[in-house]
Amino acid sequence: DAGVIQSPRHEVTEMGQEVTLRCKPISGHDYLFWYRQTMMRGLELLIYFNNNVPIDDSGMPEDRFSAKMPNASFSTLKIQPSEPRDSAVYFCASSLLAGTGELFFGEGSRLTVL
Q: Give me the residues that bind other proteins (CB under 8 A), please.
A: 31, 33, 42-45, 48, 50, 55-56, 59, 89, 91, 93, 98-105, 107-108, 110
Residue 4 or 15: the one with the smaller Cβ distance to other proteins is 4
Contacts of 94 (CB under 8 A, 6+ apart): 4, 25, 26, 29, 31, 32, 33, 103, 104
Count Cβ atoms within 10 A of the Cβ of residue 74 and give its class: 0-12 exposed, 13-18 middle, 19 or more buried. middle
- Nearest distance from residue 81's CB to other proteins, in Å? 26
Decide whether 15 or 97 has the Cβ nearer to other proteins: 97
Q: Of 16, 18, 4, 3, which is closest to residue 75 (Cα–Cα)?
A: 4
From the CB of 66, what's the least distance to other proteins, in Å? 19
| Nearer to other proteins (CB atom), residue 72 or residue 98 | 98
